[in-house]
């Protein structure tokens, strides 16, 4: 009886692992652009995320040089999506 129970648990575990692998295999590709590596953004590569995100607002606010689209996600977590 114990061998049947162990076999059942092993089959369930393997089915779960196979399902997770298929789920991750079919995940969409990352579409968020990386932070540009240009003179304007060079300062962001040498400081922490929280400190860097405070410096995004002057340029990427509605009144800034490069305003964000209206459907852009929360503006206070820039480096959560845009990788350095």
CATH of residue 8: 1.10.1130.20
The CB density around residue 50, as the number of other CB atoms within 10 Å, is 10
Write down the pLDDT at residue 11.
97
pTM above 0.75, yes or no: no
Instruction: Give yes or no for residue 7 having a pLDDT over 90.
Output: yes
Separation of alpha carbons 53 and 45, rounded Å: 11
When pLDDT is cut at 50, 70 and 90, the band that residue 22 belongs to is very high
The residues, any chain, with a CB within 8 Å of residue 56's CB and separated by 6 or more, are: 75, 78
Provide the domain count of the chain: 1
Kindly list the distances between the CA atom of residue 2 and the CA atoms of 5, 8, 9, 16, in Å, as whole numbers in the listed order.
5, 10, 11, 21
Q: What is the pLDDT of residue 64?
A: 82
**Domain residue limits at 59:** 2-81
């Amino acid at each position: 009886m114990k061998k049947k129970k162990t076999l059942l648990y092993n089959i369930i575990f393997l089915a779960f692992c196979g399902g997770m692998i298929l789920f991750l295999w079919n995940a969409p590709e990352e579409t968020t652009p990386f932070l540009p590596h240009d003179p304007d953004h060079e300062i962001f590569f040498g400081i922490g995320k929280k400190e860097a995100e405070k410096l995004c607002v002057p340029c990427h606010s509605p009144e800034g040089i490069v305003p964000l689209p209206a459907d852009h996600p929360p503006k206070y977590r820039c480096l959560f999506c845009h990788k350095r």
